[in-house]
């Protein structure tokens, strides 16, 4: 699962947040891991204050 951040310089950065095997669960793998991914993205952006998380929901 990836998160995206916008840098002060105007670019975007993709951040790998959570990985796992979806073989048996398919898309049902995602819901239990979203909270962990959000927490890790927040932590990453605190570590790099020049980055701001980009919030995307659903298929937008």
pLDDT of 55: 78
Beta-bridge partners for 15: 3
| pLDDT of the residue at 39 | 94
Spans in the chain with pLDDT lower than 50: none
**What's the pLDDT score for residue 58?**
63
- Strands of the 12-16 sheet, one edge to the other: 12-16, 2-7, 51-54
pTM summary value: 0.80
Give pairs for 7-10: CB < 8 Å, separation 24+. Answer: 7/50, 7/51, 8/50, 8/51, 9/50
What pLDDT does 53 receive? 93
**What residue ranges do the domains of the chain occupy?**
2-54
Place of tokens 């699962």: 1
User: Using an 8 Å Cβ cutoff, are 5 and 44 in contact?
Assistant: yes
């Amino acid at each position: 699962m990836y998160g995206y951040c916008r840098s002060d310089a105007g670019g975007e950065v993709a951040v790998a947040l959570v990985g796992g095997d979806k073989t048996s669960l398919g898309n049902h793998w995602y819901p239990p891991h979203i909270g962990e991914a959000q927490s890790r993205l927040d932590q990453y952006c605190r570590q790099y204050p020049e980055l701001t998380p980009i919030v995307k929901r659903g298929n937008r």
